[in-house]
């Protein structure tokens, strides 16, 4: 009998140890091991185990480094960011005032003529100041009707060994008077220059007082030329071309005209563009 009771006790103990924790309805709720498992499962799922105390709070410690975002949610790289910025209108894409294409810039309507007028005026003012400071009184300038762009220039000196200088002494001619008009785009285009008085022959002075000089043409002109330099070149050309003061009766009293000078100058430029700056055939005048 005692042996039988011991066997029954062993069977009960064995059944208690081998009870399935997943099925608490078997054998009285599963014991402490099953309760522990249920607590862990509830903590993971965010649910409180029924009837049990709340899970203990986690012990505060150093913050863990944030996990790297997945590749699919990564921020766009520099290339994509640049492409996005390039497509968006920004301040740099708008023309700035005062530059080409902007408000008030040289590319704006009416800005270029105004800019050329300012350049011409500044250049001519400087030319007048430089001529006034000449120590040898080679030339002097008078403005026509107070216009800065229309000058009467007096040439006081030529080579004193020339026949032209002797003519000036014999006729009491103190100077050779010329007229210079400056175009809108001066100094990038040459002035129109002609002789007013006295009436000259030869010396590259033609009908109407037109002057045959390559540097007075668009092809031969340079913006670096000054009025003083042009006048010195003209004085040398007069002497080289054997210029003389006309003393023929009647003809010497006839003044040069601007209209005739302009027509003559256009004709000689056309001829020299055809043959170059050499002596043209007589048939072409």
Q: In whole angstroms, give the CA distance from residue 282 to residue 203.
A: 18
Element containing residue 130 per DSSP (H, E):
helix 111-132
246 in active site: no
Q: Which of 155, 206, 212, 269 is catalytic?
A: 212
Phi, psi of 106 (to 5 degrees): -60, -25
**Spatial strand order in the sheet of 139-143:** 139-143, 150-155, 176-181, 192-197
Give the DSSP H or E segment for 259: helix 258-275
Taking the alpha carbons at both ends of the chain, their separation in whole angstroms is 163
The catalytic residues are 212
């Amino acid at each position: 009998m005692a042996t039988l009771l011991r066997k029954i006790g062993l069977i009960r103990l064995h059944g208690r140890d081998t009870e399935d924790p997943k099925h608490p309805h078997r054998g009285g709720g599963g014991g402490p091991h099953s309760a522990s498992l249920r607590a862990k499962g509830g903590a993971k799922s965010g649910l409180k185990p029924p009837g049990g105390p709340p899970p203990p709070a986690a012990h505060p410690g150093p913050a863990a480094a944030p996990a790297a975002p997945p590749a699919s949610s990564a921020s766009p790289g520099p290339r994509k960011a640049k492409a996005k910025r390039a497509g968006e209108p920004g301040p740099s894409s708008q023309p700035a005032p005062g530059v080409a294409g902007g408000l008030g810039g040289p590319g704006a309507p009416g800005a270029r003529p105004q800019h050329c007028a300012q350049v011409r005026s500044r250049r001519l003012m400087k030319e007048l100041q430089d001529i006034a400071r000449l120590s040898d009184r080679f030339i002097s300038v008078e403005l026509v009707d107070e216009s800065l762009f229309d000058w009467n220039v007096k040439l006081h000196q030529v080579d004193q060994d020339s026949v032209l200088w002797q003519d000036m002494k014999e006729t009491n001619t103190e100077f050779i008077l010329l007229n210079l008009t400056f175009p809108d785009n001066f100094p990038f285009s040459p002035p129109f220059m002609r002789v007013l008085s006295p009436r000259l022959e030869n010396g590259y002075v033609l009908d109407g007082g037109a002057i045959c000089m390559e540097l007075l043409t668009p092809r031969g002109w340079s913006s670096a030329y000054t009025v003083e330099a042009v006048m010195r070149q003209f004085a040398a050309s007069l002497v080289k071309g054997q210029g003389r003061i006309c003393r023929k009766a009647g003809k010497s009293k006839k003044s040069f005209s601007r209209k005739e000078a302009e027509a003559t100058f256009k004709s000689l430029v056309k001829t020299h563009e055809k043959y170059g700056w050499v002596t043209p055939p007589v048939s072409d005048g």
